[in-house]
Amino acid sequence: MKIASVDEMRLMDRHCLEKLGIAEEILMENAGLAAINVLQNKIGIKGRKFVIFCGSGNNGGDGLVVARLIHSGGGKVKVFLLGDKNKFRGAAQTNMAIIDQLSIEVSKLENATAAKKDVAHCGMIIDAIFGTGLDRDVAGLASDVIALINHGHESPRQALETFRSKQRGIMPSATLSELEFHNKSKKKVLSLDIPSGVNGNTGEVMGAAVRADYTVTFGLPKIGNMLYPGYELGGELFVSHISFPPSLTENNDLQIATNDYVALPKRQAEAYKGSVGDVLFIAGAVGYYGAPYFAAMSFLKAGGGYARLAAPKSMIGKLAVKGREIVYLPQEETAAGSIAMKCKNKLLEAAAKVDMVVIGPGLSLQKETVRLVQELVSAIKVPLLIDGDGLTAIAENPEILCSRKASTILTPHLGEMARLTGKPAAQISQNKIAVLQETAKKLNSTIVLKGAHSLIGTQKGSVYINLSGNSGMATAGSGDVLTGCIAAMYGLGLKPEEATRKGVFLHGYAGDLATAKKGEDGITAKDIMEFLPQALKNDRTGSISANYYEPLVIS
């Protein structure tokens, strides 16, 4: 599913109005109908009480449509306006005029306390305060109202995990029942388009933000709906195209999308180990035994055929005890126990015989080894995946990637991305997608910016937002498992960009399976790795919920 920036959504709105002749009133009515659809399915409308907080812009106009539709559906609704109703314009003004003719109670809110009693006795709160165009921090009355909405509400993580567990069917029933019982005691909140206070382009909180159980977003999801913390604050996400045609919602000019399903090639009955991936891993240094092991073994666990691990010779004995299926290539080492420069020609010979080279996991940052990495990266002719210490090594001169002819895949976390780009991590965090697009083009690489909802950026400017995974995967070695998984997807026959997308998805899904079994606290890289075969099996049998790939679309 395509994802839009705030400016892109404005252009789509304008195109509908000016080129297609779809009236603003129709778009606003469809937005309201989409919200009513969710309300009807989640809690029902007839006989229930609702409170709607409306700002003075089009988001507030959407809230007015919802109020009218609740009223016509037999529900009881009270509207609180955070601004002067005379400030409404266009379709919002039209809907305000209609509301004035109906027996719907509308109150101009002077302070949040005035709404406290109504909030306490309603069945659901509708948040229609700010839309996606918020460009300044929330303060004053709006901030106080948001605090009132959030008071006593379940944590956003709790809401999101409850939703995920239901949709994906991987939570034990007893635990799910406990959470459902807990949730019944909490006030439910529906946000229109995006939780008020969330930046539509970054997902950042602008001073204060609503914590919603449900969000209905209009046209397409905005970036802020999909990136943390905005995604978590939105709860269960629904999308309504509000009559936007596919020529807009599926336009190839929109470069951001969810990491949708990538089909794996069928595994041939006559497959042999060399036909499903022959990969060389250049990894490891004394003291760093886990990284090379997890990278190479995860490649095998994710369906790869032949893992060759080039590591310092003093490590091989200990590694071989754990990973007997791996083929080891002992390397001469420095005094500090890392791979020595004298191994360069031998490694290049090995690299020329395989399908892909992975370089970096646990290599250490010894000066000689850093220089070796830089020279190998420049000379290796096959597709190359660089991770961990390999990324830090090339960060001294990342331009060496630009002249590579074969594909390059980089898998940095935020700190490594900061070193690669020379930009502060905080600056990247505030503008992840733009920085990722710029860097992928500049370095001629496919880049995975790891984190909650990892981002995959391509040389052509496309960015894919991955929805699998959970916070329990923030554990040492998890990134090495990802490295092996991506390499396996390439070995199974996917092109480098598709292999990266598939590897990121399956890695996150394996983490979700591990978490469902053991809980978020305390799962390890080994746990994630051990669930890779099950993740792959579920993928091939089509038993993974569609919710893993994109939000639910409603008419």
**Is the Cβ–Cβ distance between 519 and 472 less than 8 Å?**
yes
Closest by CA to 405, choosing from 427, 440, 380, is: 380
Query: Domain-by-domain residue ranges, the chain?
Result: 2-152+187-254, 273-550
Q: Which distant-in-sequence residues (6+ apart) come within 8 Å of 499 by Cβ?
A: 409, 486, 487, 489, 490, 492
**Fold that domain 273-550 belongs to in CATH:** UDP-N-acetylmuramoyl-L-alanine:D-glutamate ligase (3.40.1190)
Pairing of strands 124-128, 188-192: parallel
According to DSSP, the residues that pair with 190 across neighbouring strands are: 126, 214
**Is the Cβ–Cβ distance between 554 and 37 less than 8 Å?**
yes
pLDDT, residue 220, reads 98
Radius of gyration of the chain (CA): 26
pLDDT, residue 154, reads 47
pLDDT, residue 555, reads 72
According to DSSP, the residues that pair with 53 across neighbouring strands are: 80, 127
pLDDT in tens, the chain (555 residues): 999 999 999 999 999 999 999 999 999 999 999 999 999 999 999 999 999 999 999 999 999 999 999 999 999 999 999 999 999 999 999 999 999 999 999 999 999 999 999 999 999 999 999 999 998 999 999 999 999 999 855 444 555 555 555 555 555 444 444 334 333 437 899 999 999 999 999 999 999 999 999 999 999 999 999 999 999 999 999 999 999 999 999 999 999 999 999 999 999 999 999 999 999 999 999 999 999 999 999 999 999 999 999 999 999 999 999 999 999 999 999 999 999 999 999 999 999 999 999 999 999 999 999 999 999 999 999 999 999 999 999 999 999 999 999 999 999 999 999 999 999 999 999 999 999 999 999 999 999 999 999 999 999 999 999 999 999 999 999 999 999 999 999 999 999 999 999 999 999 999 999 999 999 999 999 999 999 999 999 999 999 999 899 999 997
The whole-angstrom separation of Cα 368 and Cα 254 is: 44
Residue that has been written with the tokens 């002992």 in this structure:
330
Residue that has been written with the tokens 């026959």 in this structure:
493
pLDDT, residue 151, reads 85
Asked if omega into 551 is within 30° of 0 (cis), the reply is no
CATH tag, 2-152+187-254: 3.40.50.10260
Q: Is 198 helix (H, G, I), strand (E, B) or coil?
A: strand
**Is the Cβ–Cβ distance between 188 and 42 less than 8 Å?**
yes
- Which residues in 245-338 belong to E strands, given as ranges? 256-258, 278-282, 306-312, 327-331
Structure tokens at 286: 């004394």
pLDDT, residue 34, reads 98
- Report the Cα 120 to chain-centroid distance in Å: 34
Instruction: Compute the CA torsion angle 353, 301, 448, 293 (nearest 10 deg).
Output: -70
Alpha helix stretches (DSSP H) within 229-331? 230-234, 246-249, 290-301, 313-322
pLDDT, residue 117, reads 95
DSSP string for residues in 465-524? E-----GGG-STTHHHHHHHHHHHHHHTT--HHHHHHHHHHHHHHHHHHHHHHH-STT--
**How many Cβ atoms from other residues are within 10 Å of residue 373's Cβ?**
25
